[in-house]
């Protein structure tokens, strides 16, 4: 993650992002400025600075210069970027869209410029303004760009680093924002790796901001500072990643219910291997990889018109001049299209909001939703962490290879596993109940899907049998659920390492509290004939959302079922009827913005390492005991 976490008893390292203990016994993000301005960084990379000078002079480069850095310098020269550029001109034909220093518009030639209120800027501004205090005066610069690398917003300042209206490589040469946009992952550029003279004493880290619905890059988030003495990762890389994740969460929360319904319909239709699916509502498009090769401009235009017509009329959708598509039926597109399509309306609250088209090349069997080994994932929840986890699991489950679902107890691992495996012939083995796994697994038929629950309870013979099975059948249709807890033994750790590349961590309920209301409706038993469904007062809903739910969805299900079965009062459930721990709520104070940033960095590291706390602590640069203490502090 590139973040240093230390106790205040340890001596802080200059130029690092530290999580320091506050007077309340928790940790907050602070930033420290290197004591020497640029000399340490210059001394750390003398060969690269010399190589840049020789490159600009047209001389032969010394050995050891990274190929990607030289290629970036050559691109800048090809684009005609002058190395001594003083002020980039920005996007020609468009005003500078920069809201600087706490969101104020920039003044150009005395005239205030109004920033463009894009969806990204509207969602990101409140998130970024909460992070600004962590930057420190004159220590760091926080910059938000759009997908064309035009600066939308910036805050903070770095001595000698002026404003820049655009960060496109064609305008300013190599920089971290352009690299992050191109690679779709975190990128860093330090000192002489930049092409411009004015950025030789700048270190920057950038993270792409992705659209939660389709993964498209909406822009980048950059933290720039004076040169750091340490080697990469940048000391504020964790802050940049946490900020980008918070912006993506805000984007997902602002998405309308219609977009979420279209996304859910797309995920249901895209189950199975290599299915060509497109979901459209006239404004948004969700297209699978298999559909890309079938969607010619003519077919895509016809589907767009079908989606618009479906949203405005409850009549059969006219897809071509002489053909109509009945609701939920097949329609043969023009012969030039080379494919057929099943058109299904997507409805929300009784109204059509778009269509889902399942495509198939002419002459191929018609795409059918019956008998698919991967049925719709019907588990409730529309939060970003949950939908991301479910989407990743659905994607991995399309191939018949082992899959590992990890998470705390009660997060829904087994329920999601059963949805992924479908209603077919599946062998279910529970390591907590079945003692003879070393005899069951060798007799298992490799072409039959196997669900192994509670892998953390496996005894030594069972672990050995499973490792042997994966060695002989690496592509076996196996789905394993695992609850992290006690340290894994060597054999079990070897098994987890084998499955780590295809593992999906499920978020606990406290990290997706926005799903509580959807879960209440899904978990409530069907009322008896003539009885109203279970409803909740606003005060009760707030108490349910504030409770940390250590037992996760399973605990919430027990509470809902107990109320439905034993409740005698009529009307909505009131807060006073909830169990005492839920009604009283946690006593902890709310986290500060900086504590939220630290918590997000730790949780992201846990997800990346499959819940393995030892590896997470090593990646964050702290001891395992420190990590456990921080996690306990957040839970309390």
Mean pLDDT lowest for which of 120-129, 229-238, 318-327?
318-327
Mean pLDDT lowest for which of 236-245, 280-289, 518-527, 585-594?
585-594
Q: Please give the residue that has the higher pLDDT: either 408 or 526.
A: 408
The stretches of 212-360 forming alpha helices (DSSP H) are 237-254, 257-269, 289-292, 297-312
What's the mean pLDDT in 25-53?
49
For the chain, percent of residues with pLDDT exceeding 90: 11
pLDDT surpassing 50 at residue 32: no
Residue pair 403/428 in contact (Cβ under 8 Å)? The answer is: no
375-395 pLDDT tens trace:
333 467 878 888 888 888 888
Token pair for residue 51?
Answer: 């190589």
Q: What is the pLDDT of residue 636?
A: 56
pLDDT surpassing 70 at residue 5: no
Interacting residues of 426 by C-beta distance below 8 A, sequence separation 6+: 418, 448, 449, 450, 451
290-345 pLDDT tens trace:
888 777 877 888 888 778 777 765 433 333 323 333 344 444 465 666 777 788 88
- Which 3 state secondary structure label does DSSP give 449? coil
pLDDT surpassing 60 at residue 93: no
The stretches of 58-168 forming alpha helices (DSSP H) are 67-79, 119-131
Interacting residues of 386 by C-beta distance below 8 A, sequence separation 6+: 506, 507, 512, 515
Residue pair 206/179 in contact (Cβ under 8 Å)? The answer is: yes
pLDDT surpassing 90 at residue 179: yes
What's the mean pLDDT in 7-12?
36
**Cα gap 592→20, rounded to integer Å:** 13
Residue pair 246/124 in contact (Cβ under 8 Å)? The answer is: no
The stretches of 143-270 forming alpha helices (DSSP H) are 169-172, 176-183, 237-254, 257-269
Residue pair 38/201 in contact (Cβ under 8 Å)? The answer is: yes
- Per the prediction, the chain carries an average pLDDT of 75
pLDDT surpassing 60 at residue 138: yes
pTM: 0.41
Interacting residues of 509 by C-beta distance below 8 A, sequence separation 6+: 410, 411, 515, 516, 519, 549, 552, 553, 556
pLDDT surpassing 80 at residue 7: no
Token pair for residue 544?
Answer: 């349910």
Query: Which domains can be identified in the chain, with CATH numbers?
Result: 39-254 (3.30.450.40), 257-361 (3.30.450), 399-503 (3.40.50.300), 509-584 (1.10.8.60)
pLDDT surpassing 70 at residue 549: yes
pLDDT surpassing 70 at residue 479: yes
Q: Tell me how long the chain is.
A: 636
Residue pair 390/380 in contact (Cβ under 8 Å)? The answer is: no
Q: What is the pLDDT of residue 22?
A: 33
Q: What is the pLDDT of residue 221?
A: 94
Taking each continuous run of H as one helix and of E as one strand, the counts in the chain are 22, 23
Q: What is the pLDDT of residue 522?
A: 82
Q: What is the pLDDT of residue 175?
A: 93
């Amino acid at each position: 993650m590139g973040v240093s976490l230390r106790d205040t008893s340890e001596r802080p390292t200059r130029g690092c992002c530290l999580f320091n203990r506050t007077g309340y016994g928790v940790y907050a993000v602070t930033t420290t400025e290197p004591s020497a301005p640029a000399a340490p960084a210059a001394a750390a990379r003398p060969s690269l600075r010399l190589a840049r000078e020789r490159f600009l002079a047209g001389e032969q480069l010394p050995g050891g210069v990274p190929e990607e850095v030289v290629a970036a310098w050559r691109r800048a020269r090809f684009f005609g970027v002058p190395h001594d550029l003083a002020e980039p001109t920005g996007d020609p034909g468009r005003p500078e869209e920069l809201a600087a220093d706490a969101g104020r518009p920039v003044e150009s030639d005395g005239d205030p410029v109004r920033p463009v209120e894009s969806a990204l800027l509207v969602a990101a501004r409140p998130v970024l303004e909460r992070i600004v205090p962590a930057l420190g005066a004159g220590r760091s610069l926080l910059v938000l760009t759009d997908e064309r690398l035009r600066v939308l917003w910036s805050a903070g300042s770095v001595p000698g680093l002026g404003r820049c209206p655009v960060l496109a490589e064609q305008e300013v040469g190599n920089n971290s924002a352009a690299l992050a946009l191109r690679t779709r992952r975190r990128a860093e550029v330090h000192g002489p790796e930049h092409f411009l003279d004015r950025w030789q004493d700048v270190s920057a880290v950038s993270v792409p901001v992705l659209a939660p619905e389709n993964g498209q890059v909406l822009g980048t988030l950059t933290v720039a500072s004076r040169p750091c003495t340490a080697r990469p990762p940048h000391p504020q890389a964790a802050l940049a990643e946490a900020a980008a994740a918070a912006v993506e969460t805000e984007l997902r929360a602002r998405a309308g219910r219609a977009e979420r319904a279209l996304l859910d319909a797309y995920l249901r239709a895209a189950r199975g291997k290599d299915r060509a699916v497109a979901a459209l509502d006239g404004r948004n498009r969700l297209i699978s990889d298999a559909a890309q090769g079938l969607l010619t401009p003519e077919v895509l235009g016809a589907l767009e018109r079908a989606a618009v017509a479906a949203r405005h009329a409850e009549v059969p959708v006219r897809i071509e001049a002489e053909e109509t598509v009945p609701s939920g039926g097949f329609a043969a597109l023009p012969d030039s299209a080379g494919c057929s399509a099943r058109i299904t309306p997507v409805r929300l609250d009784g109204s059509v909001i778009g269509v889902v088209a399942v495509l198939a090349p002419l002459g191929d069997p018609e795409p059918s939703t019956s008998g698919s080994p991967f049925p719709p994932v019907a588990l409730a929840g529309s939060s970003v962490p949950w939908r991301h986890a479910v989407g990743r699991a659905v994607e991995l489950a399309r191939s018949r290879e082992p899959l590992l679902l990890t998470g705390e107890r009660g997060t829904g691992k087994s329920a999601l596993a059963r949805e992924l495996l479908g209603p077919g012939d599946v062998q279910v083995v529970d390591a907590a109940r079945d003692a003879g796994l070393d005899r069951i697994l060798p007799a298992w038929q490799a072409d039959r899907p196997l669900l192994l629950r509670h892998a953390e309870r496996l005894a030594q013979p069972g672990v050995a049998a499973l490792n042997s099975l994966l060695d002989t059948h690496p592509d076996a249709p196996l789905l394993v659920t695992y609850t992290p807890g006690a340290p894994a033994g060597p054999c079990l750790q070897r098994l987890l390492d084998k499955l780590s590349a295809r593992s999906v961590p499920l978020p606990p309920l406290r990290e997706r509290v926005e799903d509580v209301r959807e879960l209440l409706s899904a978990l409530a038993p069907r009322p008896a004939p003539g009885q109203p469904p279970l409803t909740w007062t606003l005060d009760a809903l707030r108490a349910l959302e504030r409770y940390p739910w250590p037992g996760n969805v399973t605990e919430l299900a027990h509470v809902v079922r107990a109320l439905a079965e034993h409740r005698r009062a009529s009307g909505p459930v009131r807060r006073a009827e909830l169990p005492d721990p839920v009604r009283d709520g946690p006593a902890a104070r709310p986290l500060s913005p900086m504590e939220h940033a630290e918590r997000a960095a730790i949780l992201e590291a846990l997800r990346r390492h499959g819940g393995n706390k030892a590896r997470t602590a090593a990646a964050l640069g702290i001891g395992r005991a420190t990590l456990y203490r921080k996690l306990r502090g957040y839970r309390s």
